[in-house]
Amino acid sequence: MSENRYIKDHAHEKSLFMSRIIISSLVGLFFIFVIIIRLVQLQIVEYDFFNQKAQGNRINLKATLPPRGSIFDRNGKVLAENITAFQLEIIPEQVEDLDRSLERLLSLKLIDQSQIKAIKQQIKNSQKFKSIRLRSNLSDQEIAIFAANRATFSGIELQPRLVRNYPQKEFTSHVVGYVGSISKQDQSRLNRSLYDPNEKTGKTGTELFNEITLHGEPGYYQFIANSRGRQIPINPTDINSNILQNKPATAGSNIFLSIDLDLQILATQLLDNRRGSVVAINPNNGEVLALVSSPSFNPNIFNNNLTSNAYDELQKNTNQPLFNRAVLGTYSPGSTIKPILGLAALQLGVVNLTHRRLCKGHYSLPGNTHRYRDWLATGHGSVNLHNAIAQSCDVFFYEISGQIGIDRMHNYLDQFGLGQKTNIELTGERVGLIPSTLWKKTNFSKNEDKTWFPGETVIASIGQGYMLATPLQLANATAALATRGKRFKPTLLSAIEDPLSKIKIKSEPQQLNQIKVDSVTYWEEIISAMHNVMQGSGTAKNVGTGASYKMAGKSGTVQVVSVGQEEEYDQENLDERFQDHALFVAFAPLHNPQIAVAVIVENGNSGSRVAAPIAKRIMDQYLGF
């Protein structure tokens, strides 16, 4: 069997080899050409751009935090300030065993178990040589505990820092608010370039609403940094020579509130931790003199490392201490709106100054057997408008409600600011509700629910049914009654002070549209009736009689639970949470009003017996009696 023999074609192989050499050379030359072009672009064309960028990486900026502005009451008493306190900080790269160190801090009760996960996550997301806050505002006992065990820790130190302090504690927590760590939600509203991640920002109250004013402007310093961002000295022989340029921070402005601290404290004490609210206003300029929500809380707990469990307990507390009832709480205004409806009835010609009606203790719509009961079962007898306001006769207002009509009722209450935001300098203010036929038509989905019924007008005439108002709105409406229709926007801001020059810029009153009626006599008749409530034969005569100055007021008692036609209403035997709300509005002095007050005590049972004495005590103190 013969073997196949292959003879090499040297010419072909040489040609193939040369082809490959040429192709490889061309490819190589192409890439060399690309590299040369890129080098030219980087080194010549874009030299300035990349030189500046390299300098930016080499020279870093670090913000210096501005001192937060202080908050004072109208007389200069401190409501919020900055104090020096010690906080526990960790530098991760200096810690030999992180888990063991955290466990030791836990055993010493210097951190909480619920914090450990967040601490580890923060360390993971931060540069290892930067300090991270573990605890702030340590107590003297906690400082002593750490100092005694300091030798067992590496990379963990106590550092003095400025922290927010609220010396008035529970007395001003809802109006002043508090600060807290910056959350993701906060980041969306804040200018991130002005804040450090470890900084705190306003969470509620004045602290939140005036965040920009209080915060100030951060400063900065430039330093040389290596590729990892660590500061390095300019002069290797001088470790302190690392600052290139320094711009000091500008402190935040100080804020003076219109609040009278003594009045605020008294109002809080008078509520005695019961659920409720007190708002007092100067009717001549709209300045809020007291704004209290009860029960309250100590805002300093948010600087004392409040645990998530403790915060949950606050939120779940059935008395809602974190809830600002003064601007967020909405209540049926009850009989406190009767003076306004009486004014509307006079203006519309529904009644006159001598018109009288018979109150038998109940009222029924024509052709209907349903009885709308008066608070006085035996009735008030023959009453005119003056008596109906002074004695709070429900039947009188039941009877005239149909002639006024819900839409005209809505229009008059609207003029006094009920059912609309006051735009006070607090966030989250609620609107309340003054119903109308249009409101019902647009807010109910079922056709049968869109119709406004005459019985709903009857209930609305005594401030119940759908009707809702905040304590601030009631105080504001009372102020408008006191001034005979002259209205101002309620305000908490009295002045802003420059922290360096101490120059104050005072806020100017903002006057709103005046409420006009055809005759001054109408105002005087309504105010005379309100005077009679407290210093005549009215429902709160036991409170006002004997006072050395003249005052006016109106009580309101609002049912929390409904009662059937044949059921006897015995609220004394009801559970406390089902008893009537107690309301009272008042102003004084009668002819030169200086203060208007609204008081609400939830489940307080009686406006004239429970809420009226609180209003009287507040007016006494403010007027110096």
Give 247's contacts (C-beta < 8 A, 6+ positions apart). Answer: 219, 220, 221
Given the residues 173, 294, 296, 335, the one annotated as active site:
335
Query: Which residue is listed with tokens 């000295």?
Result: 233
Biggest distance spanned by C-alpha atoms of the chain:
145
Distance CA 533, CA 585 (A): 11
Measured distance CA(61)–CA(197) in Å, rounded: 15
Tell me the C-alpha distance between 74 and 493, whole Å.
9
Active site residue 335: yes
Look at residues 248, 134, 122, 115 and name the one whose alpha carbon lies nearest to residue 197. 122
Query: CA 568, 573, 576, 582 torsion: positive or negative?
Result: positive
CB 389 within 8 A of CB 336: no
Among candidates 366, 389, 435, 332, which has minimal Cα distance to 536? 389
- Closest by CA to 611, choosing from 358, 272, 195, is 272
Burial class (CB in 10 A: 0-12, 13-18, 19+), 377: exposed
Other C-beta atoms lying within 10 Å of the C-beta of residue 398: 24
Backbone conformation region of residue 205, classed left if phi is above 0, alpha if psi is from -120 to 50, else beta: left
- Beta-carbon contacts of residue 353 (< 8 Å; ≥ 6 apart): 346, 384, 385, 386, 521, 525
State the Cα–Cα distance between residues 111 and 88, nearest whole angstrom. Answer: 10
The percent of the chain in helix, strand and coil, each rounded to the nearest 5, is: 40, 20, 40
- DSSP reduced 3-state for 455: helix
SS3 of residue 556 by DSSP: strand
Tokens of 76: 């200069």
The span from the CA of 620 to the CA of 625, in Å, is: 5
Helix orientation angle between 338-348 and 394-404, rounded to the nearest 10 degrees = 50
For residue 381, the Cα-to-chain-centroid distance in whole angstroms is: 47
**Residue 589 to residue 619: CA distance in whole angstroms:** 9
**Number of H-type helices and E-type strands within the chain:** 22, 21
Give dist(CA 183, CA 187) in Å, integer. Answer: 6
Active site residues: 335
